[in-house]
Amino acid sequence: MTVELISVGTEILLGNIINTNAAYLAEKCAMLGLSCFHQSVVGDNEERLEDTVRLALSRADIVILSGGLGPTKDDLTKEVTAKVFGKELREDTHTKERIQEYFRQVHSNQVTPNNWKQALVPDGAIVVDNHNGTAPGLILEENGKIAILLPGPPNEIKPMFERDIAPYLNRLQPEGIYSKMIKICSIGESKVETMIADLMDTQTNPTIAPYAKTGEVHLRVTAKAADEEAANALIAPVMEELFHRFGDKIYTTEENISLEEAIVRILEEKKLSVTTAESCTGGLLAGRILNVAGASNVYKEGYITYSNDAKERLLKVKRETLMQYGAVSPQTACEMVRGVAEATGADVALSVTGIAGPGGGTKEKPVGLVYVGCYVKGHVRVEEFYFTGNRDKNREYAVARALTLLREELLKYHA
Amino acid sequence: MTVELISVGTEILLGNIINTNAAYLAEKCAMLGLSCFHQSVVGDNEERLEDTVRLALSRADIVILSGGLGPTKDDLTKEVTAKVFGKELREDTHTKERIQEYFRQVHSNQVTPNNWKQALVPDGAIVVDNHNGTAPGLILEENGKIAILLPGPPNEIKPMFERDIAPYLNRLQPEGIYSKMIKICSIGESKVETMIADLMDTQTNPTIAPYAKTGEVHLRVTAKAADEEAANALIAPVMEELFHRFGDKIYTTEENISLEEAIVRILEEKKLSVTTAESCTGGLLAGRILNVAGASNVYKEGYITYSNDAKERLLKVKRETLMQYGAVSPQTACEMVRGVAEATGADVALSVTGIAGPGGGTKEKPVGLVYVGCYVKGHVRVEEFYFTGNRDKNREYAVARALTLLREELLKYHA
């Protein structure tokens, strides 16, 4: 089946916001085995919206619209789609009660009159409850064509899609689509693709799709089958083969686990505490580890040591080391990581020192040169990297590489 | 004039990447006074791409395509657009030389044969040099319709647009579009909009457009005029009025200056050094200050103190304070910021302590409660915030508020 995405909103046309909903919906639809050939953005204009909906319905089986379900007069998605399907709007008692209840909880009972507009639904539409806002989702079906209307705010559209829309889309298809994720670090994208080229060349069902992320590669294994059990039977041998090929380079098979979360879990399991000493990344590495809710169990404190003086005073990096090899050197990275472990008493530590750019590079030490030190219970490993991005990208990659290095060393460690 | 954007790329249709180019181009086009009613995304498929280009050209004066100019067989944007305009492709000697030179510099002379495909240009097209890659930009003009083809990578499309495409688009219009930016902090979006409602209600030329950012509001003042001088004459009184209304809440009038960069400049000017002590933001505040190239002049070192022990040991927060008021309290924020200033010898300091969520909240201290302390040469100010987002958003807002607070206090300080 084919799907087409329409994002409704003048703020997207003006470039005020980035269209993250489209990327989210596109990835989810791909996961569900729906083919998407077109995405469109159109403003809150009746005529242009109608033309866009009609064109999309002429090309695709399913059209998913996001945005334009709000309470104001500008919000036209529901009205226009109902018109295209030849449906009248009627008040939905259940939705009206939910809106009343939502306002009771969030806004101490002050429903403004225009909010009742959100209780109007096209005749015959399936109403999908919104657990994070007032505009319900709506599904219209007619003559083999389907329009799915979803609210615009990401914190409303995502839970609604996961909970109700994905299962609905799966039921539409003669065979359901089921998938498993494998997230890989420590190997580059092209190497991963080479290592699975033979599998990808011959794949039919299940299929493997690689997604490159900063310093990681995600593989999604997707099967079509009558039910989840049958799908798992198809997916299992492929997963086994991937585990055979990538081994402990696979850091998780969970959708929602990030690399930093996987690392925090290993630290918790091995009862190790971690700290960081950052120069060029200036707090971003610590910030990423502390993205993980509950990371306070393993991360107690860390240092940002930009100046040589701070490296000497806080981390006990030797002045001779800084003089002889420079602040950006494997020697300094090594002394930094030993120093921060000592200063904090942490079992495990990371240090980062490098030249993020745009200035500060030399012929011997160009912009993008970064050293990462990793300390695990007395053992230190230092790695050298040459990144080729701008300042932001170089810092982002340095953080990703540091996390990868930490994970590798943690796997080797046994108490 | 009207413009329409077409993003070409299967990776966008699959949701592998977020379409940031469209947001960038949309904002730039709006700045240039072009009306954009449609954006589309289409894959590297000849028939669908051709249909999409034809439809866009039927609706708009100018169509801007991004992506699909690469060296592989999949890349079809140039071929399809040339076909629509009825043009043959011919080799462009100048571009061929530039590609040769690019590879000499970046890849030690190894031009792979498929790269020469990028030297083919449609007959009669304007060729726009790419200073950051090998695919040139292309402009086709015919019968009052214009297609502009730009490379997909953001680090190629942005400099090309700024340098060559924006001036080209400005020349097309009977009157040029010129704009000035005003970036405001310390006042919320709705207050800003209330404060300029009268100006916005009566505006014709110039116009004022507000853009809400995390913890900031940007106002763009745009005039249509025969030339830049005439535009400035129209814009100047509006800028004066905005300065009159917002005063020192305006932190810059430069497009490319961020709040953290504006703050680093004030610190440099006032010859003050800065440090940070972070709990819930865990390094993100330092990371943002150190985004600024050259921030090492003012930022030497900082601390991440997640645990109470670290707060006591590194920042000399009193145990009684932590016991009596808790780690998330104005008292702790105050002692943290005094402590980190003392420990580092910095003139100026920020502390952040709060409950980012999702866990850790209580009735008295809910998730989203954050205290920010700001120290300037002995004087401390502490502010309380209640954020209502998820963990990521709460941390992002805490960082933005801390920077805003720092700026306010720096403006009050005179040596």
Q: What ipTM was assigned to the predicted interfaces of this complex?
A: 0.79
Peptide bond into B206 cis (omega under 30): yes
CATH of residue A386:
3.90.950.20
Number of domains in chain A: 3
Minimum mean pLDDT range among A289-303, B199-213, B312-326:
B199-213
CATH of residue A43:
3.40.980.10
Q: At what angle do helices A391-412 and A259-269 cross, to 10 degrees?
A: 30
| Same domain, residue pair B35 and B141 | yes
Kindly indicate the confidence band of residue B336, based on its pLDDT and cuts at 50, 70 and 90.
very high
3-class DSSP state of B35: strand
Chain B interface includes A216 (CB < 8 A): no
Is the per-residue pLDDT at B112 higher than 80?
no
For residue A343, the 8-state DSSP code is H
Is the per-residue pLDDT at B47 higher than 60?
yes
Residue B107 confidence (pLDDT)? 54
Residue A52 confidence (pLDDT)? 98
Single-letter amino acid code for the residue at A217? V
Whether the CB-CB separation of A52 and A189 falls below 8 Å is answered with no
Chain A residues 125-144 within an 8 A CB cutoff of chain B: none
Residue A133 confidence (pLDDT)? 85
| Same domain, residue pair A273 and A328 | yes
Token representation of residue B329: 């309290």
| Same domain, residue pair A326 and A270 | yes
Whether the CB-CB separation of A171 and A199 falls below 8 Å is answered with no
| Same domain, residue pair B129 and B232 | no
Residue B267 is part of which domain span? 259-412
| Same domain, residue pair A235 and A314 | no
| Same domain, residue pair A219 and A100 | no
Whether the CB-CB separation of B65 and B8 falls below 8 Å is answered with yes
| Same domain, residue pair B168 and B241 | no
Query: Of B207, B230, B252, which residue is a domain's last?
Result: B252
CATH of residue A199:
3.30.70.2860
Residue B108 confidence (pLDDT)? 55
Higher-pLDDT residue of B388, A184? A184
Residue A107 confidence (pLDDT)? 54
Chain B residues touching residue A314 (CB < 8 angstroms): 301
Instruction: Name beta bridge partners: B63.
Output: B4, B147
Residue B113 confidence (pLDDT)? 74
Whether the CB-CB separation of A6 and A64 falls below 8 Å is answered with yes
Residue B71 confidence (pLDDT)? 82
**CA A410, CA A412: separation in Å to the nearest integer?**
5
Whether the CB-CB separation of B355 and B328 falls below 8 Å is answered with yes
CB-closest option in B42, B290, B359 to A282? B290
Burial code of B126-146, b = ≥16 C-beta within 10 A, e = fewer? bbbebeebbbbbbbbeeeebb
Query: Of B186, B221, B252, which residue is a domain's last?
Result: B252
Phi, psi of A160 (to 5 degrees): -65, -40
Kindly indicate the confidence band of residue B110, based on its pLDDT and cuts at 50, 70 and 90.
low
Residue A381 confidence (pLDDT)? 98
Chain B residues 148-187 within an 8 A CB cutoff of chain A: 155
| Same domain, residue pair A210 and A278 | no
Kindly indicate the confidence band of residue B13, based on its pLDDT and cuts at 50, 70 and 90.
very high
Chain B residues touching residue A30 (CB < 8 angstroms): 14-15
| Same domain, residue pair B121 and B235 | no
* Range B283-294 average pLDDT: 95
Is the per-residue pLDDT at B350 higher than 90?
yes
Tally of CA atoms within 13 A in the half-sphere of B203 that contains its CB: 20
* Closest CA–CA distance from residue B290 to any residue of chain A (Å): 6
Tokens 């791909």 belong to residue: A30
Q: Which of B5, B7, B16 to mutate to test the interface with A (most CBs of A within 10 A)?
A: B16
| Same domain, residue pair A28 and A46 | yes
Single-letter amino acid code for the residue at B15? G
Residue A404 confidence (pLDDT)? 97
Higher-pLDDT residue of B126, B33? B126
Tokens 């509006």 belong to residue: B238
Residue B175 confidence (pLDDT)? 82
| Same domain, residue pair B275 and B181 | no
| Same domain, residue pair A305 and A183 | no
Residue ranges in chain A modelled with pLDDT below 50: none
Is the per-residue pLDDT at B106 higher than 80?
no
* Range B93-109 average pLDDT: 79
Higher-pLDDT residue of A108, B336? B336
Query: Of A215, A233, A252, which residue is a domain's last?
Result: A252
